[in-house]
Amino acid sequence: MAALAPAPRFYEHDSNGDPLSGGLVYTYLTNTTTPLATYTDSGGGTQNTNPVELDSAGRASIWLSPSFLYKFVVKTSGDATVYTVNDI
């Protein structure tokens, strides 16, 4: 079973407050560059792609394994880093 990422639907916006349409969420084992799987639903049976591509509204379903701490690297569709956060 997977645990839900910080909100029911992950949502990201750009510096203007607009949805980060087509943005990318790379997920790693915290404090590393080792890719770590996320899941499409609470059952944890289907992995997301890595990176997870955000829809036109800047949203995605991102469920996490409760066995690990994650690092998220959020980037624009043009591959510019928006932010990085550890220990999710």
pLDDT at 86: 97
Structure tokens at 33: 């560059």
22: its two tokens: 């087509």
DSSP result, 13-51: B-TTSSB-TT-EEEEEETTS--B---BSSTT--SBPPSS
SS3 label, residue 9: coil
**pLDDT of 2 strictly over 80:** no
Write down the pLDDT at residue 7: 59
Nearest to 70 by CA among 60, 82, 62, 58: 62
Residue 1 has pLDDT above 70, yes or no: no
Give per-residue pLDDT as tens, 22-73.
999 999 999 999 999 999 888 888 999 999 999 999 999 999 988 999 999 9
Contact 22, 77 (CB under 8 A): yes
Q: State pTM to two decimals.
A: 0.90
